Amino acid sequence: MPRTRDAAAYAERSRRGARDPRPDHGRPLETEYRPRHPLDLRRTVLYQRHGAGDPTMSVSGSVIWWASRTPMGIATLAIRETHPGVIRGAAWGPGREWALSMLPALCGADDEPGDFDASRHPLIADAHRRNPGIRLSRTDLVFDALVSAIFEQKVTGMQAFGAWRRIVTWCGERAPGPTPTPMFAPPTIEGWQHVPSWAWHRAGLEPPQSQTVVRAARRGDSLVRALHAAEDGEAVDRVLISQPGIGPWTSAETRIRAFGDPDAVSVGDYHLAHEVGYALTGRRVDDDGMLQLLAPWAGHRQRVIRLIGASGIHEPRRGPRLHPEDHRTR
């Protein structure tokens, strides 16, 4: 355990950093994107957010703010729909050009439904008809997507989002631009390797997850190159699942956020199989049953899962909510 004085000093630096003026990176670059398809901007882009308190993504009025660590440096991107079918983007920071170039992909421009047949099930057909603007967003920031997925392994969303918020705020970099609240980009790959062990503990992340993040960061650059070179989702799975502490669920979550993979299925999720089974058959199923139900939509299984989420059909909760254990008191 760290000395109390060290912990207090680190916490004070974190609080002071949150109050410091944001970096001044001059006037923003701006662009306009006109999607060729219907777009529900909030439902598409905010899928990338890690809880309401995510320091990398927030909403203020009609504007979505995204802080990221791009290959060209830190950047803040502000997105809003100025008129129906017109998306305006403004970006600050050294990585602003890269961030603006990603605006269409973030809004689902690379998502091509192609041969998707919603008519195979009446619930999916109705959800597809009522939600034509839901697209699959991608960021291309594969390591950040991987780390956030590791945070969410085998814990509740509340635990994972809280740990992400604390670590990114404490160890990330203050985002530039006129953000509505202090925002932060995640640490660099090297920075993830040097997060103090006691900081992980105070953030509420269990040792297996923090150790997996550090191991992945130690070969982070080569891992990122291999993932971007992967030709399809199966190749991404082979790269990721070969890493200690990373399984099919984590790989699928990475594929969904980083690449907007329309076929990724998070096998092993605590609720997903139950929700899919209930929506499509009215009863619970296990992972194998879920995969059988989704098989007719091969190539679009994540799209079907997203439409089930948008349908409003959820399995009734039958028991008390899980009370997560807070290991920080141990």
Model confidence over 215-258: pLDDT tens digits? 999 999 999 999 999 999 999 999 999 999 999 999 999 999 99
**Secondary structure letter of residue 40 according to DSSP:** -
* Structure-token pair, residue 91: 């970006």
Report the candidate in 218, 245, 56 with the shortest Cα–Cα distance to residue 154: 245
Q: Give me the domain span that covers residue 60.
A: 22-118
The CATH number of the domain holding residue 88 is 3.30.310
β-bridge pairing 57-60 and 29-33: unpaired
Model confidence over 277-330: pLDDT tens digits? 999 999 999 999 999 999 999 999 999 999 999 999 988 876 555 445 555 555
Q: What angle do CA 136, 141, 144 make, to 5 degrees?
A: 105
Is the residue at 29 inside a domain? yes
Is the residue at 290 inside a domain? no
Q: What percent of the chain has pLDDT over 70?
A: 88
Q: What percent of the chain has pLDDT over 90?
A: 84
Give the pLDDT mean for 120-141: 98
Is the residue at 30 inside a domain? yes
Count of structural domains within the chain: 1
Single pTM value for the model: 0.89
Is the residue at 222 inside a domain? no
| Alpha-carbon separation of residue 38 from 108, 117, 130, 134 (angstroms) | 10, 18, 11, 8
Model confidence over 260-269: pLDDT tens digits? 999 999 999 9
Is the residue at 271 inside a domain? no
* Structure-token pair, residue 16: 């002071």
Is the residue at 158 inside a domain? no
Is the residue at 226 inside a domain? no
pLDDT for 48 beyond 60: yes
pLDDT for 17 beyond 60: no
| Alpha-carbon separation of residue 166 from 45, 47, 84, 137, 211 (angstroms) | 22, 20, 36, 25, 17
Is the residue at 76 inside a domain? yes
